[in-house]
Amino acid sequence: MNILLLYSLIGGLFSLIGGVILLWKPNFTRAYMTPLLGFGAGAFLAGAFVDILPEALEAANEPREVMIAVLVGFLGFFILERFLMRSFHMHGVQSGHSEHIESLPYLLVLGDSFHNFLDGIVIGLAASISPTLGLPTAFAVAAHEIPQEMGDFSVMIRQGWNKFVVLGINVAQSLITIPGVFIGFYMRNTVGSYIPTLLGVAAGIFVYIAATDILPELHHKSSHKHFFRVVIPTILGVIIVSYFSMLER
């Protein structure tokens, strides 16, 4: 029991290191907000295409089912965002672009919480095979989550969220790893067969957030002359997350 809790905390809270650094360096964060946003977009895209989706396809009996799950995740978050935009409009936000951007942090929280829960299940499944396998899996999860969490923090700060609120929300969603670990460990025979589909949904969510929210926000907020200031951090986000994903395998 204590070992599972330790693995949960490693896999969840350790991933917040990069985001915490951003919070306590506000001048740096304000000065480099656009590159950080690009980094976040790259991190989410790499997380979907280099980390989550290959893992889902590798574990699946039928690849088509995974791709359908990706589509479900993408369309599901599209529907959710339209609902959130409608809610913001009813509460007095009049600009369509503002409604779209206001909903982004909430989508990030939901998408990343779901992903953290799945990470917990993966750690729990590994620990059920062998207790010694659970520890390196937990560290691998934390390592590839660090750059992605930095992207989350940068988007929320960009939207004007208080740094203590940002920290509290990210700590809470990281703790969602805990129930995932216990479910993966104690219900391995039941949950294991659904992992490819759930990972496909998570990949679709990440693609949606990056392609329809973060990248359009970059185009809208950054000047046309800021080519390298936007493109290089985005590519860097892809490279770093891909690197950590390769180490995990």
Q: How do the pLDDT tens digits run along the chain, 249 residues long?
A: 677 777 777 777 776 776 777 777 766 666 677 787 788 788 889 888 988 898 889 988 899 999 999 999 999 989 988 887 776 555 544 444 455 556 777 887 888 888 888 888 888 887 887 777 677 677 767 766 676 677 777 777 777 778 788 888 888 888 888 898 889 888 877 887 888 898 899 889 889 888 887 888 788 777 666 788 889 989 998 998 888 777 655
**Number of domains into which the chain is organized:** 1
Residues in the chain: 249
Question: Is residue 56 one of the residues assigned to a domain?
Answer: yes
φ/ψ of residue 161, rounded to 5: -70, 140
Question: Is residue 20 one of the residues assigned to a domain?
Answer: no
Question: Is residue 32 one of the residues assigned to a domain?
Answer: no
Question: Is residue 84 one of the residues assigned to a domain?
Answer: yes
Q: What is the residue range of 51's domain?
A: 2-14+38-248
pLDDT digit string, tens, across residues 52-82 = 898 889 988 899 999 999 999 999 989 988 8
The pTM (predicted TM-score) of the whole model is 0.74
